[in-house]
Chain A
């Protein structure tokens, strides 16, 4: 059972806590290098004009990722 919902399903301005990152290899490492790891709070900042990619706020910085990359990140919504 996967806890939380995938980051893709989150709405703009919604906040939550990352519960798991299920990506491996290069993508998984990139995501972690940027500080997207379990336990961190995030807020969806906005989406690009074509709804993809998405930008989010974490640890005082702004990150962007594509929807198909957001699929690997699970978040417990506040």
Chain B
């Protein structure tokens, strides 16, 4: 039987490094049920036992405000791990022990892995490990997770202490609070109020701390005791307010730190250097976050990330594409002409190939972002840009997602949506992932290139610049709109840590990149396969009756429409997609789009590149290479109803309308609900249509 061990600790304490060191390749990642917080789990065999190690999300406390805190707390309460290995940054002991104390107050079986002893030593911090262990009453193992030092000792200590159940730690919070706690605890114990889940005193403490989760549970189960406890808490709160000008929450936190200080002052910790002196990390910050140099360096870093992700992934992406072309060719030879061949080649291979072709890009992007995140630079970027993004209801860290999605033309919304994982504030994150698809991704560029080449020959650069500006301004304004309507709520506090700069470990980067990529392949891959088959069917059925070619007389059976067009376009017109395109003309003609354009835009739901190739089919050009669309540009120039106004209306529509399906699937996955995927499809398309109609009508009216 595997023994469950929870790994917990502050962010940046080296938790992930320890987790990787303990579990190696035997780990898997998922999400906690119903929330988007990552759940990492792995197996570790040591001391003749099998440990099932669960990496709890990194938190500073267990206060049930953020998703991470709730998840960590619920896991300890509900799953009752045999032991919590609390990883503590030895160079930042005082604050790290704040979380330890909260585990002890819950009565959890805790063992401290005192990490970064090397860093502590360099900073002139000496820790008396034995004394710390004695005073806290917990096993403490000094270690350096990066090098694996102390790993064996840690596992031995865990094996020795597994299964013991210490009594919950009782801290004195001062006379007023202690007396109230005693009174509350007595009633909680005698009435068995939530006692099957939590320790008595802990419940009382949470009532004083105004903990939303516990209050809610209490109200649902025993409303009478709940009322009584709330009243007692309120009375104490008023009392503290008048006598000490403070409130229970603040006082409890202060006393916890007081408890820690009193332990550390008993000779546990000694400094040979001033802890607040400028470390080399701060010296780097003086330059990197400098008023003028900082933004310049940031632009350089972003351009570098961009170059790395999109330019260097080009070659492997081409390999994947070639592979799928080859596979398509093989299928072309293997299958006889007909529906099955069309399904396999156009539906399955093209559809799945479109998703898997992204894989090298995703790998590069996550490698780049993981590097920036693990090195500590991402936090500096958030710090520098927060002021600008906050005006639009976003967060400083949102910029990464925007840039990756095509903030500099040519990105991709799929990794952009996935990059929002680096945002910890839920509302800002949702607003970011709903607006990144407005950026100019690489697949929209051929569409713009085609239209600009055909209708704005003399002003190519200016029009491209205008397109980029519109997408940025549009995305930010929509973010602002969303944040003041459907995702309403105050800004999440920006109280965060700037971790010291660190060189990321190769192992950490590799594991991080691989797990994200695999999630993408597995989850996006299956849904996309289904959707591409549906789209294929929509563009194929019902079929035109063109079978009896062998019969000479059959020529007379062609429909009048088919005679004026080439067979591909006629078949497309006859299909479900074609009929939808024509039905949609009733509305879209106000934006200047005819049915052929509508089919192309429908195809764009699958992938935006498809817009160009479908336009080619619809305007009877047969196969069109998205990269080389000169002939189509010539064709559009002379086509009925086309002109610069129509072209720009279509550009506007392309900027704003529904994200492609791969992006929608990612939005669903990252937001944790289908609701937001559907919302982004409907809202974006409606927005795009309104903008195009307003533009088209105004422009036509002004020209007339």
Contacts and interface: CB of A to CB of B under 8 A. Distances in A.
Contacts of B387: 48, 50-53
Residue among A43, A57, A65 having the largest count of chain B Cβ atoms under 10 Å:
A57
B101 to A, nearest CB: 12
Interface string A42-71: 010110111111010111111111100100
A53 B386 contact: yes
Interface residues of A, number: 38
Contacts of A69: 493-495
A50 to B, nearest CB: 4
Given A61-B95, A63-B497, A65-B495, A37 B254 contact: yes
Interface in B479-496: 493-496
B294 A29 contact: no
Interface string B372-389: 000000010001101110
B98 interface: yes
B276 interface: yes
Nearest to B379: A64
A34 B125 CA distance: 20
B494 A66 contact: yes
Given A48-B386, A50-B388, A61 B289 contact: no
B498 A62 contact: yes
Interface string A26-42: 11111111111111010
Interface in B148-196: none
A27 B65 CA distance: 10
Given A30-B65, A31-B495, A50-B387, A24 B282 contact: no
Interface residues of B, number: 43
A3 to B, nearest CB: 10
Contacts of A63: 495-498
A21 interface: yes
Contacts of A50: 387-388
B494 A64 contact: yes
Interface in B62-111: 63, 65, 91-92, 94-95, 98
Contacts of A58: 276
B497 A66 contact: no
B257 interface: yes
Contacts of B295: 49
Interface stretch (B21-29, B137-145, B245-253): B245-253
A64 B384 CA distance: 11
A35 B91 contact: no
Interface of B: 60-61, 63, 65, 91-92, 94-95, 98, 123, 125, 247, 249-250, 253-254, 257, 275-276, 281-282, 285-286, 289-292, 294-295, 379, 383-384, 386-388, 390, 493-498, 500
Interface of A: 21, 24, 26-39, 41, 43, 45-46, 48-53, 55, 57-66, 69
